[in-house]
Amino acid sequence: MNIRFSKISLLCAGLLAITTLGSHAADHAAKATDQHGSHGAKHWSYSGEGAPANWGNLEPGFSLCRLGKQQSPVDIQGQGSGKPAPIEFAYTASSAEVVNNGHTVQINLPSAGGFRLDGTEFKLAQFHFHTPSEEKIRGVAYPMVAHLVHKSAAGNLAVVAVLFELGDENQALKELFAKLPANGQTAHLSNAFNVSDLLPAYKGYYKFMGSLTTPPCTENVQWQILKQRVEISKEQLEAFRKLYKMNARPVQPLNQRKVEES
């Protein structure tokens, strides 16, 4: 189980570590792991030769990172056309496996519920962190963001982003951030985790179509960025930054996309 998770997540920083994504992703992951392991081939990262500007050239399967027109993250300028329906959150407490996959810390939750939007149910698979926040609001990045990654029965991906700002210790993340595993390691939370404890009180959000923010930068991902920030302490942020000083892809052109705002 751990080997399987680490293989997949080595490639995909968690966004693709949804075990049901299919054989393409699995082949891809195996191939990248082989290259990485046996030949020291360039692997994607956030600096140096594997930096985001080069992702699209690292291998043919990553070309969308370079050529895609609906890439994430974006800088939301408050374009606000249209008004999306409220997100109906229905998270449940779940056991939680915490994996440091070399690109981020990812929490896998086997039975965490999900949300419903526009008649579609999305089931949560995992969440993970980036620092600073990948998405910007009117040019401003926040110290950290959590990406809650969901999948519908039809196989469509939807990410809910929760932005963090410095303040009080985040109680929902207390146990998790006290036992962040080292690179390649896995930990298990002793308490059940309910993702609803991570959400801000106000659920207004920005909605747009985008992509995975890590190779292979797959598009048709539905994004929901919650407007209200939640707090983490300086110590919690530092605990994550000890592992990942910077793991954020730069913002991408919005092109013709519209951003809805509730």
Active site residues: 103
Pick 136 or 147: Cβ nearer Zn ion: 147
Site size toward Zn ion (CB under 5 A) is 1
Pick 147 or 151: Cβ nearer Zn ion: 147
Provide, rounded to whole angstroms, the least separation between the CB of residue 147 and Zn ion. Answer: 3
136 binds Zn ion (CB under 5 A): no
d(CA 51, CA 73): 15
Provide, rounded to whole angstroms, the least separation between the CB of residue 98 and Zn ion. Answer: 15
d(CA 172, CA 178): 11
Pick 147 or 207: Cβ nearer Zn ion: 147
User: Interacting stretch for Zn ion, rule CB under 5 A, among 73-81, 141-149, 183-191, 226-234?
Assistant: 141-149
User: Interacting stretch for Zn ion, rule CB under 5 A, among 49-57, 74-82, 144-152, 194-202?
Assistant: 144-152
Q: What's phi and psi for 31, nearest 5 deg? A: -60, -50
207 binds Zn ion (CB under 5 A): no
Pick 160 or 254: Cβ nearer Zn ion: 160
Q: Which residue in 28, 103, 136, 147 binds Zn ion (CB under 5 A)?
A: 147
Q: Site residues (CB under 5 A) for Zn ion?
A: 147
